[in-house]
C-alpha cells in the first residue's frame, strides 16, 4: 500500500499571496451577499418616495440624491461581483437613461432567491437554465402588456404622459411642472424626422435663488456669464467663433529693444496697436457684431472690440463652444482673422439678461424650431438644483426612448405583478427542476411593489396580498400601488391615473439585470493575485507640530 504524499510535496500552482476561493459557500454565496448589500443601498431610493443618499466622493464633493446612476457612479465599489452589477446599471444608463435602479434591485433579488435554491440543493447550472427560460418568457409577456402608444411626437399631451412618471420617481410633487419644461424644450428642437432627435440639444442652466416655479425654457442657448466688454446686446447678429485667444501673438524668443529718447518710447507700441486695430476694423467691415472665444481676451483687443461696438463672449467649455457652433451655424476658427461668410454664424438676438442677480448671455432664435433649447432651473441650494437636473435628464432620455419605441406599460408595480402572475402559471406547467427557478424568478418581481409600499410607509404585506387578489381576478394587469392613498385600499388603476412606464426601458432593464445575475451565478471560483506595490506611505499627521 502506497504511502500518502505529504501536502507540501505538491507543486505550488500560484505565487505566494494568492487568494483562491472556490465552491458554492466560498465563491457563489459570498458574491450574492456582496450584491445584496449593494442592492439594499439603492433599494430604499426606489420610487417617488425613495430616500435620498448623502454621498461624499474621493474629491470631497457632496451629492444628495436618490438617482441610482449617480449613487453607483460615486460609490467606489471594489468587490469584483458587485462591479459586474455596476457595469450593467451603467449600460442601462447609456442605453435608456432611466431604470438603473430597476437593474440593481432586480439582480439583487434574483440572486437572493438563487441563494435559497442553492441551500435547498439545486446546482447553479439548473438555476441558470430556469432563469434563462423565465427571462425569455417574461420578455414575451412584456410585449403583450402595452396599454398605450405614443405616436404623435408633436403632441404635448402624448409626450407628457410618457415623461410624467419618470420625473415623479425623482421629484415627487413637482412632476407636472418639470414635465411641462421637458415637453416644451423637446418640442422646440423636435426635428421633422423625430428619429434624429438629439438629447444633447437640450441644455440645463442652474441659477441659484428664487423657487422652482420660476424655471423657464429659452429657445436658444444660455451661458452663465456676462459679455467681457461694454456691449451687451446685438440683433440679427453675425457671429465669429474662435478657439484661439483674441490677443497679439507672443513670440517664442525674447528680444531686447534699445530706446534712445521719449519719442521712440511713445512710438514703441504704435505698430502693435495699429495691427490689432486693423484686424478688428476688418471684423467691423465684414459685418461681424458678435465674437465668441474659447480662450483669453487681451486688454488691447477688448479696447478695439468695444470701440467697434462688437459684443464679446468668453465660453471656456469646448463642448459648449461646439454646441454653439451647431446652433448658429458657424465654423470654429483656430486663427485670428476675419471669418468668411460661410464660416460666420447667425443668431436673431444675443443679449445679456439678469436672472436672480446673475447676469447671463442668451443666444436666442426667434423661429419656432431651433437647434438647441435651454431649461433654466431655479432653486435654493446647489445640491437641489443638481438633483432637479438629473430628473430633467431622465425625462429628456425617455423622450428619446419613446421616439424609438412608443409603447407604454402600466407603472406603479402593476406590470411586475402581472409578470409575476403569468410566470408563476408558466412555472406550474414546466416539468422538471426548472419550475423552481421560474417560480423564484416570478417571486423576485414582487420586490418592486413591496419596495414602493415600504418607501411610502405603507403595510407592504397587506398591499401585496391585495395586488395578488386584484391581478388574479382581472387579466388586464393595470392595478398598482397607490403611494399617496388616504384610504385603506392603497391600490389603484394606474392607466386611469396616467402612471405609465416605457416598455423599452423595462425590457432593457430586465435583460441587463438577468444577464448580470447569471454571470455571477456562473462563477464557481475566485482567484485573486497579491496586490502589487510595497507598504503604504505614512499618512499626514495633522498634529505633527504638537509634542
Phi-psi region of 282 (alpha: psi -120 to 50; beta: other; left: phi over 0): alpha
In the prediction, which pLDDT does 321 show? 83
Inform me whether the pLDDT recorded for 519 exceeds 80: yes
Phi-psi region of 432 (alpha: psi -120 to 50; beta: other; left: phi over 0): left
In the prediction, which pLDDT does 157 show? 82
435-474 pLDDT tens trace: 888 888 888 888 888 888 888 888 888 888 888 888 888 7
In the prediction, which pLDDT does 5 show? 47
243-296 pLDDT tens trace: 877 766 555 566 676 776 777 666 666 666 777 777 777 777 777 888 888 777
- Which domains, ranges and CATH numbers included, belong to the chain? 13-147+410-528 (1.10.560.10), 217-251+260-404 (3.50.7.10)
Cβ distance 111 to 35 under 8 Å?
A: yes
Q: What are phi and psi of 486, to 5 degrees?
A: -100, -10
Find residue 350's DSSP bridge partners: 234, 363
Q: What is the mean pLDDT of the chain?
A: 80
> What is the share, in percent, of the chain residues with pLDDT greater than 90?
0
pLDDT bin (cut points 50, 70, 90) of residue 411 is: confident
C-alpha cell at 318: 469646448
Cβ distance 202 to 209 under 8 Å?
A: no
In the prediction, which pLDDT does 469 show? 84
Cα 170 to Cα 51: distance, rounded to the nearest angstrom: 10
162-186 pLDDT tens trace: 888 888 888 888 888 888 888 888 8
pTM of the entire structure?
0.80
**How, if at all, do strands 19-22 and 525-528 pair?**
antiparallel
Inform me whether the pLDDT recorded for 224 exceeds 80: no
Cα 396 to Cα 372: distance, rounded to the nearest angstrom: 13
Amino acid at each position: 500500500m502506497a504511502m500518502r504524499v505529504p501536502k507540501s510535496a505538491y507543486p505550488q500552482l500560484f505565487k505566494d499571496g494568492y487568494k483562491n476561493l472556490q465552491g458554492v459557500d466560498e465563491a457563489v454565496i459570498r458574491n450574492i451577499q456582496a450584491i445584496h448589500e449593494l442592492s439594499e443601498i439603492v433599494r430604499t431610493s426606489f420610487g417617488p418616495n425613495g430616500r435620498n443618499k448623502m454621498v461624499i466622493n474621493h474629491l470631497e464633493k457632496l451629492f444628495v440624491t436618490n438617482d441610482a446612476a449617480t449613487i453607483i457612479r460615486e460609490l467606489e465599489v471594489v468587490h469584483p461581483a458587485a462591479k459586474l452589477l455596476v457595469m450593467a446599471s451603467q449600460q442601462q444608463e447609456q442605453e435608456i437613461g432611466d431604470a438603473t435602479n430597476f437593474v440593481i434591485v432586480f439582480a439583487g433579488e434574483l440572486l437572493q432567491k438563487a441563494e435559497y435554491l442553492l441551500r435547498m440543493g439545486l446546482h447553479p447550472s439548473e438555476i441558470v437554465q430556469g432563469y434563462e427560460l423565465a427571462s425569455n418568457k417574461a420578455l414575451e409577456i412584456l410585449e403583450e402588456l402595452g396599454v398605450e402608444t405614443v405616436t404623435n411626437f408633436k403632441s404635448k399631451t402624448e409626450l407628457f404622459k410618457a415623461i410624467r412618471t419618470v420625473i415623479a420617481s425623482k421629484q415627487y410633487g413637482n412632476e407636472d411642472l418639470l414635465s411641462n419644461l421637458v415637453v416644451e424644450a423637446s418640442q422646440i428642437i423636435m426635428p421633422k424626422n423625430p428619429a434624429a432627435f438629439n438629447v444633447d440639444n437640450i441644455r440645463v442652466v442652474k441659477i441659484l435663488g428664487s423657487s422652482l416655479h420660476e424655471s423657464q425654457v429659452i429657445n436658444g442657448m444660455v451661458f452663465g456669464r456676462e459679455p467681457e466688454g461694454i456691449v451687451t446686446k446685438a440683433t440679427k447678429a453675425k457671429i465669429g467663433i474662435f478657439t484661439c485667444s483674441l490677443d497679439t501673438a507672443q513670440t517664442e524668443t525674447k528680444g531686447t529693444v534699445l530706446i534712445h529718447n521719449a519719442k521712440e518710447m511713445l512710438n514703441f507700441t504704435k505698430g502693435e496697436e495699429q495691427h490689432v486695430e486693423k484686424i478688428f476694423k476688418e471684423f467691423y467691415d465684414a459685418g461681424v457684431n458678435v465674437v465668441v472665444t474659447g480662450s483669453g481676451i487681451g486688454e488691447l483687443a477688448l479696447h478695439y472690440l468695444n470701440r467697434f461696438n462688437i459684443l464679446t463672449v468668453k465660453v471656456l467649455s469646448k463642448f459648449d463652444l461646439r454646441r454653439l457652433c451647431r446652433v448658429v451655424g458657424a465654423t470654429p476658427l483656430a486663427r485670428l482673422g476675419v471669418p468668411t461668410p460661410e464660416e460666420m454664424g447667425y443668431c436673431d438676438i444675443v443679449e445679456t439678461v439678469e436672472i436672480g442677480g446673475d447676469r447671463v448671455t442668451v443666444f436666442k432664435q426667434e423661429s419656432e424650431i431651433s437647434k438647441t433649447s435651454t431649461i433654466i432651473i431655479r432653486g435654493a441650494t446647489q445640491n437641489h438644483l443638481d438633483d432637479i437636473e438629473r430628473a430633467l435628464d431622465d425625462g429628456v432620455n425617455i423622450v428619446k426612448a419613446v421616439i424609438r419605441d412608443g409603447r407604454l406599460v402600466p407603472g406603479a408595480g402593476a406590470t411586475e405583478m402581472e409578470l409575476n402572475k403569468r410566470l408563476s402559471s408558466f412555472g406550474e406547467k414546466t416539468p422538471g427542476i426548472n419550475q423552481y427557478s421560474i417560480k423564484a424568478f416570478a417571486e423576485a418581481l414582487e420586490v418592486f411593489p413591496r419596495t414602493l409600499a415600504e418607501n411610502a410607509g405603507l403595510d407592504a404585506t397587506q398591499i401585496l396580498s391585495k395586488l395578488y387578489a386584484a391581478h388574479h381576478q382581472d387579466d388586464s394587469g393595470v392595478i398598482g400601488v397607490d403611494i399617496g392613498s388616504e384610504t385603506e385600499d392603497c391600490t389603484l388603476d394606474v392607466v386611469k391615473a396616467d402612471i405609465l412606464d416605457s416598455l423599452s426601458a423595462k425590457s432593457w432593464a430586465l435583460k441587463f439585470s438577468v444577464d448580470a445575475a447569471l454571470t455571477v451565478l456562473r462563477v464557481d471560483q475566485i482567484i485573486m493575485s497579491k496586490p502589487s506595490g510595497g507598504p503604504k506611505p505614512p499618512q499626514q499627521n495633522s498634529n505633527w507640530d504638537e509634542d
